[in-house]
Amino acid sequence: MGGKELNALVTQRIEHAPGLVTLRVIPDGWELPDFTPGQFTVLGLPASAPREPTSDPEPPPAKPDKMIVRAYSISSSSKSKEYLEFYISLVRSGELTPRIFNLTIGDRVYLSPKFRGFFTLENVPADKNVVLVATGTGLAPYMSMIRSELNRESRRKFAVIHGAYHSWDLGYYRELAGLERCSSNFTYFPIISEPQEEPGGWTGRAGFVQKVWTGGELAEVWGKQPTPEDTDVYLCGHPDMIEDFEKILQAEGFTEHTRKQPGQYHLERYW
């Protein structure tokens, strides 16, 4: 297995909807290093691990011991030292996720002890507001940021804009809606793109995440349209959303933050 052992255990598996889970994973016999909210690590399973039944079939693996590894953002708080949580969607044609979706409580998995990435709040001044925009499992790094950093003393305002196809794909809805009720500096904007498919009808927000920004809804809650001077924006999720939102932000004077060139919007690309 190229030196990679199945060094961690699954201790919780919550299925939000078909093809959408949160997994809690604990290290087996080693300590989790510290991480910064927004960072990712790597999960892996051997090619011999079975695929979940609704995923596309594959021929028997040529190298059954080969470890298949992929990056996953950590969704748990950096204050939780015992476990890591991940928010994962099933890619039925994919290599790793069909195997991950077959895991049950007590199963073993490879968890990299190296936590990486710069998609964090570290370089944002404490008095700047933060808008966290996601589609699908792009919400994962924001859950870690919110769970770790939202507190009453914080001067900054946080907004999460989360887009999904259906209401049942809005994982963490209850937690985020609850946080919004308890925190004066946090606003949650869930939005779905296929309201016509809701069996009970839909009276909530419908469309794409961009609409919350361009339609003035965020500006209404915050009392003004965010500017590069007072707000940093994070984008994570579907590549089309990232591309489209970037254009909107650039037209309003925001520039991309890179390690070499500080800016006011930050990107994490899953694929």
Ligand X SMILES: Cc1cc2nc3c(=O)[nH]c(=O)nc-3n(C[C@H](O)[C@H](O)[C@H](O)COP(=O)(O)OP(=O)(O)OC[C@H]3O[C@@H](n4cnc5c(N)ncnc54)[C@H](O)[C@@H]3O)c2cc1C
Tell me whether residue 110 or residue 157 sits nearer to ligand X (CB atom): 110
Question: Using CB atoms, what's the residue nearest to ligand X?
Answer: 94
Tell me whether residue 100 or residue 218 sits nearer to ligand X (CB atom): 100
Annotate 77-101 with three-state secondary structure: CCCCCCCEEEEEECCCCCCCHHHHC
Shortest distance, CB of residue 252 to ligand X, whole angstroms? 26
Tokens found for residue 208: 């794409």
Q: CA–CA separation, 71 vs 87, rounded Å?
A: 12
Shortest distance, CB of residue 271 to ligand X, whole angstroms? 4
Tell how far CA 164 is from the center of its chain. 12
Q: What residues are paired with 131 via a beta bridge?
A: 159, 233
Q: What residues are paired with 133 via a beta bridge?
A: 161, 235
Tell me whether residue 59 or residue 271 sits nearer to ligand X (CB atom): 271
Chain residues in the site for ligand X (CB under 6 A): 40, 70-73, 86-89, 91, 94-97, 117, 136-137, 140, 268, 270-271
Tell me whether residue 129 or residue 148 sits nearer to ligand X (CB atom): 148
Q: At a CB cut-off of 8 Å and minimum separation 6, what does 128 contact?
A: 156, 230, 231, 232
Tell how far CA 45 is from the center of its chain. 21
Helix ranges restricted to H, the chain: 97-100, 140-149, 173-182, 210-214, 217-222, 239-251
Shortest distance, CB of residue 168 to ligand X, whole angstroms? 16
Q: Answer yes or no: are the C-beta atoms of 168 and 140 closer than 8 Å.
A: no
Q: At a CB cut-off of 8 Å and minimum separation 6, what does 16 contact?
A: 22, 168, 169, 171
Shortest distance, CB of residue 184 to ligand X, whole angstroms? 29
User: Running DSSP on this structure, what letter comes out for residue 252?
Assistant: T
Tell me whether residue 97 or residue 129 sits nearer to ligand X (CB atom): 97
Shortest distance, CB of residue 253 to ligand X, whole angstroms? 27
Tell me whether residue 38 or residue 190 sits nearer to ligand X (CB atom): 38
Tell me whether residue 75 or residue 264 sits nearer to ligand X (CB atom): 75
Shortest distance, CB of residue 110 to ligand X, whole angstroms? 13
Its sign, for the CA torsion 195, 198, 201, 205, is negative
Shortest distance, CB of residue 74 to ligand X, whole angstroms? 8
